[in-house]
Chains A and B, each alone.
Chain A
Amino acid sequence: MLGVNFINPLFWLAAVSILIPVFFHFTFFQKAKNVKFSTLKFLRQNLEKAERKIRLEQLLLLLLRMLIIILIVLAITKPVAKFLTAQPRDSVSRKVVVILDDSYSMSYKEGPAAYFEKAEKLAQKIMATMTKKDSLVVISGSRGNDILAQGSHWRCLKTDITGGVRKAVSLLDESSGVRKEIYILTDMQAIGWHKDTPAPGDIAINIVDISGRNKENRAILTGACNPPAFFKNFQVNLESVLYSSGNDNAQVLLKVFNDEVQIADKDVNVKANEASEYSIGTHISKDGISRCTFEIPEDNLKADNRYYVIGKNIGDVKLLCIDDLNRADMPTQNSIFLKCMLESAASSKNEALSTVRTEDLSNLNLNDFAFIVVNNVNSRNDAAMEKLKHYVRQGGSVLFFISSNTDTKLYNEMLVTPDGELLGCYLEGAEGQEASKLIYYGIAKIDYADRVLRNFKRDGGALNQIRVYRLSTAKIRKGAKALIELEGERPLLIENRYGLGNVFTVTTSLDRNSSNLAINPAFIPLVYQMIASSSKIRPELAQGYIVGNNISVSDCIPATSRKIGITFPGGKAAEIDLSQNAENVIPGNLLPEPGFYVLDTGDKKIDFAVNLDTSESILTEISQDDIKALMPQGSNVKFLKTEELEARLQTELSINSGIWSKILLIALILLLLEGYYANRINTRH
């Protein structure tokens, strides 16, 4: 067995051209003119030798011509031949499952080709290494994990690598006596990986990072979906707690702006000396990071009047805020901000953000929380701190806000432990402006190379607009690093690795007397980035109207008929019969692309938008350590860059990318040689 994969069907067509010189070869010997000659005795003497020579020469010419044609055919059709393999592979057959990430983020183009196309080519190269006794299955790395057919395309679905691995392992489990391999071709989005990703030791798992250096918001950058504003009508509940310290009730108009365009408003009545919760359900009309503003007449309230949210959902995570100064009837400004900022985007559930005091920590299982924010700790509680440290050592992440009023001595004592410091800095004191002076510290340095900050460089430098009026002076400890520095080498954001977790420290607070962090449009995304990249528990997305999901239509089924009309984004209309559908859902496979759909119940028409899975816009990539942590011990996992896999495949095939052009060059040289040789044969006598 030569083990040749003739991928290009043109090969066989072109290969027939080999017969052309054969035809001419035999035609040459069959057609000869009859000539009478006086005697053949002088010819006969050398005939046998000459015939041998002529046949040899003609055979050489024939072979040369056939070789030229074969080389040209090979160079054009580029088949992959394993008989060219330098080192023959062992005789054990292989069973390979390629998990091809075909989620929406794979449509991101870095250069002329999308990630998916790169992955597809890699899959083909893997396929090219297969022999007849090997087998290969390509399955989807997105929701559903279908087995992919040739010519598949990326889909507007959410990454699900773990699901793909589960399916691959189940496919491979049935086999024995074979070499089992899984190739995962993905852009390494964190969202596709989940706990308990199976990885039996007898299966070699090769995780190939298709993505390049650019890890920016891939889904949105491509703009490939139609309509482009597929986040339109994406429901976001903007929740706010307004606190009035005044003596009078106040009528306040809450306005929601999206990129300076007012998209919603609501009259609220703020009672005197009372904190009240208000929410506006609205829709984000633009993709990407959106900013909404609550416009509150400043005269009526002492509280800060602007709140910022992001039109993105980072997932169904639970966050914990430790704030000793917070009281239900008198929340701190920081806790108000945090609640508004985090809860609005963290979860649609009511208890996404829990605010507790230090002494309440003993009653909580910290592992339930993806991220903990420490706002104010004003008394020593070693047990609580030890619990917090344990949480971080096990992989949890904490964000400390150190205001100018923080008891630095207490913090330094509490958070330094024999096995390292929780805080990445030693707190020295406080500095900041007098109330009457307008002095602030601007940003001096931002470490955009860091994974938390790398996506903010292109956002117009919004982080550079941060102003700090009061702060804690801190000295960076060994092993920690300042992600953001203020003028005069004053660290503002410090990251410290502690155990398996991360500790972020902000050396100021959110209240407007200390900084403008709360109104900086990039700060909340920065906090989200901290959460998304460091949280112990991976966020699971809230379900919505997302491509591929079933949509419940229980509320709009016509009374008289169980048939419902639907108009697709392109204008095409169809009728769905729900008579056999007890669950009253439109199957997700009928909603294959994002866009606006119209349901026609007969009585009314209902518009709804089907969105891309928002998780595909999350910027977080997953690290190799994180992936390993998701798999059981003893797994046989290798991480490869695209180039590394290509090099490995090429080594196996002994074919480099330029070999066919070299073959073409050789063919041309042989063609010249053939012309010279044929001419020499005809003229030398």
Chain B
Amino acid sequence: MLERRHKYLDPEMISKLKSLDFVSRLVTTGTVSGVHKSLRKGYNIEFSEYKSYVPGMDIRHIDWKVYGKRDRFYIKQFDEDTSVKAYLVLDKSNSMGYKSGSLTKLEYAAYLATSIAYLLIAQQDAVGLVACDDKILKHIPPRSSPAHLEEILTYLDGVVPSSTTDLSKTLNDLAMAVKSRSLFIIMSDLFDNQENVIKALKRLLCRKHEVIIFHVIDRNEIDFNFKDALLFEDMETREKMQTHPALLRRSYRKAIDQFIGFYRNKLYETNIDYILSVTSDPYEVTLGNYLEKRL
């Protein structure tokens, strides 16, 4: 399907994920047949309902067996599967560049984005990419061709962290810009104003979009397992702070738990899928578990 090898596209992982479909809960109005339910009734194998015939309707859909029993014309209707437009929203702010293991959060998110993009395009869905920090840096509109996948993956190969996070602004911009119902798959550490992020997400939901959030976070950002006195430097603001981690560990863990809990609860209330993606866990496992649960 692809012309050249890409940094974040692991064939072994792809083989594992091939058996899974990325099914959107979104009922789309797409015109291309796909795996997702469409608002349109079509010619699928899955029966939907009977409807009384009204002149003007296509008589090919009259169920003659029912006519024989009831002596009235009924139109047999089927649900039609269609394709979906998905936006991969990748937070590439500086905070995503943090790593305590082998992968930075951005790299981890890139792996996720690559995998999801591959899966969606493989099932005829259109996939786009929005890379942002405090503004939208790259916008690749959703398409479903393999060549388009090539374009996305090529961009992801070269993505590097930059600037500060303003995810809520990006999401608000997208809510304004994207008119048709779409699937927004957000990969971010969500280190932004929490209330603003929730508001932006709700705005997306109001526009009938589906939102999935992969909350990418480093293991050390949860555990805060630093030793000795350290001079911490904020990767986004460059602010420095000297302290002894041992003394702040308990309070930090409490704060990060509250932070994660906040998103988990709020997003649950708003019916947004929230996947805590810890970089120490294999991303295919994280993704696989989610997709299995989603089926």
Q: A residues near B, CB below 8 A?
A: 28-29, 31-47, 49-51, 53-54, 57, 681-682, 684-685
Find the A residue at minimum CB distance from B257: A42
**B98 close to A43 (CB less than 8 A):** no
Residue numbers in A under 8 Å from B241 (CB-CB): 40, 43-44, 47
Provide the residues of chain B in CB contact with A28, threshold 8 Å. 229
Type the 1/0 row for B91-107, where 1 means its CB is closer than 8 Å to any CB of A.
00001111000000100
Top-4 shortest CB links A-B: A46-B251, A38-B98, A42-B255, A685-B246
Say yes or no: B243 contacts A35, CB within 8 Å. no
Minimum CB distance partner of A46 in chain B: B251
With both beta carbons as reference points, the residue of chain B lying nearest to A54 in the complex is identified as B247
Whose C-beta in chain B lies nearest to the C-beta of A39? B191
Residue of A29, A35, A681 touching B233 (CB-CB under 8 A): A35
B168 to chain A, nearest CB (A): 15
Cross-chain contact A40 with B231 (CB below 8 angstroms): no
Taking CB atoms, residues of chain B closer than 8 Å to A42 are 252, 255-256, 259
Please state if A39 and B236 are interface contacts (CB–CB under 8 Å).
Answer: yes
- A32 adjacent to B229 (CB under 8 Å): yes
The answer to whether residues A43 and B252 also contact, given A32-B242, A685-B246 and a CB cut-off of 8 A, is yes
Interface residue? B51 (CB, 8 A): no
Find out whether the CB atom of A29 lies under 8 angstroms from the CB atom of B243.
Answer: no
Question: Is B269's beta carbon under 8 Å from chain A?
Answer: no
Q: Is B23 an interface residue (CB 8 A)?
A: no
Contacts of B252 in A (CB 8 A): 42-43, 46
A residues near B234, Cβ cutoff 8 Å: 37-40
Among B97, B191, B231, B256, the residue within 8 A (CB) of A34 is: B231
Chain B residue nearest to A28 in the complex (CB): B229
* 25 A-B contact pairs sorted by A residue (CB < 8 Å): A31-B229, A32-B228, A32-B230, A34-B240, A36-B233, A36-B235, A37-B232, A38-B95, A38-B221, A40-B232, A40-B237, A40-B239, A40-B241, A43-B232, A45-B255, A46-B248, A46-B252, A46-B255, A49-B251, A50-B248, A53-B247, A681-B247, A684-B246, A685-B246, A685-B249
Query: Which residues of chain B come closer than 8 Å to A44, judged between CB atoms?
Result: 241
- Output the residue of B96, B189, B252 with the most chain A CB within 10 A: B252
Q: Contacts of A57 on B, CB cut-off 8 Å?
A: 247
B244 within 8 A of A: yes
B218: Cβ under 8 A from any A Cβ? yes
Let me know if B231 and A50 touch, CB within 8 A: no
Chain A residues closer than 8 Å to B228, beta-carbon distance? 32-33
Check B229–A685 contact: CB distance below 8 A: no
- Among B236-282, those with CB < 8 Å from A are 236-237, 239-252, 255-256, 259
B47 interface residue per 8 A CB criterion: no
Chain B residues with Cβ below 8 Å from A45 are 251, 255
A682 contact set on B, CB distance < 8 A? 246
- Bound-state CA distance A54–B236 (Å) is 26
B233 near A34: Cβ-Cβ < 8 Å: yes
Chain B residue contacts of A33, Cβ below 8 A: 228-231
Kindly report which residue of chain B lies nearest to residue A682, judged by CB atoms: B246
Across the interface, name the chain A residue whose C-beta is closest to B253: A42
| Distance between Cα atoms of A51 and B247 in the complex (Å) | 8
Starting from the known contacts A29-B242, A42-B256, A53-B247, 20 additional A-B residue pairs (CB-CB under 8 Å) come to A28-B229, A31-B229, A33-B229, A34-B231, A36-B98, A36-B232, A37-B98, A37-B232, A37-B234, A38-B95, A38-B234, A38-B236, A39-B236, A40-B237, A44-B241, A46-B248, A46-B251, A50-B251, A54-B244, A684-B246
Q: Does B43 contact A (CB under 8 A)?
A: no
**Interface assignment of B50: CB less than 8 Å from any CB of chain A:** no
Tell me if B226 is interfacial: C-beta within 8 Å of chain A: yes
Contacting pair B236 A35 (CB below 8 A): no
Q: Quote the shortest CB–CB distance from B107 to chain A (angstroms).
A: 14
Nearest to B252 among chain A residues (CB) is: A42
Alpha-carbon separation in the docked complex, A40 to B252 (Å): 10
Q: Write the chain B residue with the least CB distance to A45.
A: B255
Known contacts A42-B255, A46-B252, A46-B255, A35 near B247 by CB under 8 Å: no
> Complex: how many Å from CA A35 to CA B242?
10
A685 to B218 CA separation, bound complex (whole angstroms): 20
How many chain B residues touch A (Cβ–Cβ < 8 Å)?
37
Contacts of B233 in A (CB 8 A): 34-37
- In the bound complex, CA of A661 to CA of B251 (Å): 44
Give the chain A neighbours of B235 by CB distance below 8 A.
36-39
How many angstroms from the CA of A28 to the CA of B252 in the assembled complex? 22
Contacts of A39 in B (CB 8 A): 95, 191, 234-236
User: With the chains together, A54 CA to B246 CA distance in Å?
Assistant: 10
C-alpha spacing A614/B245, complex, angstroms: 82
Write out the residue numbers on chain A whose beta carbons fall within 8 Å of the beta carbon of B95: 38-39
B-side contacts of A47, CB under 8 Å: 241, 243, 248
* A35:B255 contact, CB within 8 angstroms: no
Counting chain B CB atoms within 10 Å of each CB, the highest count among A37, A44, A681, A684 belongs to: A37
Instruction: Give Cα A41 to B221, complex, Å.
Output: 12
Residue of A nearest to B189 (CB): A38
A29–B249 Cα distance when bound, in Å, is 18
Q: Using Cβ atoms and an 8 Å threshold, which residues of chain A touch B236?
A: 38-39
Closest Cβ neighbor of B221 among chain A residues: A38
In the complex, which residues of chain A have a beta carbon less than 8 angstroms from the beta carbon of B229? 28-29, 31-33
Contact status of A35 and B231, CB under 8 A, knowing A45-B251, A50-B251, A685-B250: yes
Query: Shortest beta-carbon distance, A401 to chain B, in Å?
Result: 98
In the complex, what residues of B have CB within 8 A of residue A29's CB?
A: 229, 242
CB distance from B283 to the nearest CB of A (A): 18
Identity of the chain A residue whose Cβ is nearest the Cβ of B241 in the assembled complex: A40
Q: How far is the CA of A520 from the CA of B222 in the complex (A)?
A: 106
**A51 in complex: contacting residue of B191, B240, B243, B246, CB < 8 Å:** B243
Kindly state the separation between the CA atoms of A128 and B226 in the bound complex, as whole angstroms.
55
- Least Cβ distance of B187 to chain A in Å? 15
- A55 nearest in chain B by CB position: B247
B residues within 8 A CB of A38? 95-98, 105, 189, 191, 218, 221, 234-236
Which of A32, A44, A53, A685 counts the most chain B CB atoms within 10 A?
Answer: A685
Q: Is the CB of B248 within 8 A of A43?
A: yes
Minimal beta-carbon separation of B109 from chain A (angstroms):
13
Q: Which residue of A lies closest to B246 (CB)?
A: A685
Complex alpha-carbon distance, A304 and B95, angstroms: 126
- A41, B247: Cβ atoms under 8 Å? no
Q: What is the minimal beta-carbon distance from A134 to any residue of chain B, in angstroms?
A: 51
| Distance (whole angstroms) from the CB of A46 to the closest CB of chain B | 4
Residues of B within 8 A of A50 (CB): 243, 247-248, 251
Of residues B229, B236, B250, which shows the largest number of chain A Cβ atoms within 10 Å of its Cβ? B229
| Whole-angstrom CA separation of A588 from B114 in the bound complex | 114
| Complex-state Cα separation, A39 to B95, whole angstroms | 7
In the bound complex, residues from chain A placing their C-beta under 8 Å from that of B230 are 32-35
A685 to B242 CA separation, bound complex (whole angstroms): 17
Tell me whether A35 and B226 are in contact in the complex, defined as CB-CB below 8 angstroms, given that A43-B252, A50-B251 are known contacts. Answer: yes
Question: What separation, in Å, do the CA atoms of A43 and B232 have in the docked complex?
Answer: 10
Q: Which of A36, A41, A53 contacts B191 (CB 8 A)?
A: A41
**Most chain B C-beta atoms within 10 Å of own C-beta, residue among A31, A36, A42:** A42
Output the least CB separation between B240 and chain A (Å): 8
Q: Give Cα A379 to B241, complex, Å.
A: 118
The CA-CA distance from A78 to B226 in the complex, in Å, is 45
Q: How far is the CB of A471 from chain B (nearest CB, A)?
A: 99
What is the CA–CA distance of A621 and B189 in the complex, to the nearest angstrom?
98
Q: Which of A43, A681, A684 counts the most B-chain CB atoms under 10 A from its CB? A: A43
Assembly CA distance A37 to B97 (angstroms): 9
In the complex, chain B residues whose CB is within 8 Å of the CB of A49: 251
- A45 vs B252: C-alpha distance in the bound complex, in angstroms? 8
| Complex: chain A residue closest to B165, CB-CB | A39
The CA-CA distance from A44 to B232 in the complex, in Å, is: 11
| B189 CB → nearest A CB, Å | 7
Complex: A266 Cα to B249 Cα, angstroms: 109
Query: Does B231 lie within 8 Å of A32, measured CB to CB?
Result: yes
In angstroms, how far is the closest chain B Cβ from the Cβ of A166? 72
Q: How far is the CA of A321 from the CA of B117 in the complex (A)?
A: 141
Most buried by A among B226, B239, B247, B250: B247
A222 to B246, alpha carbons, bound, how many Å? 69
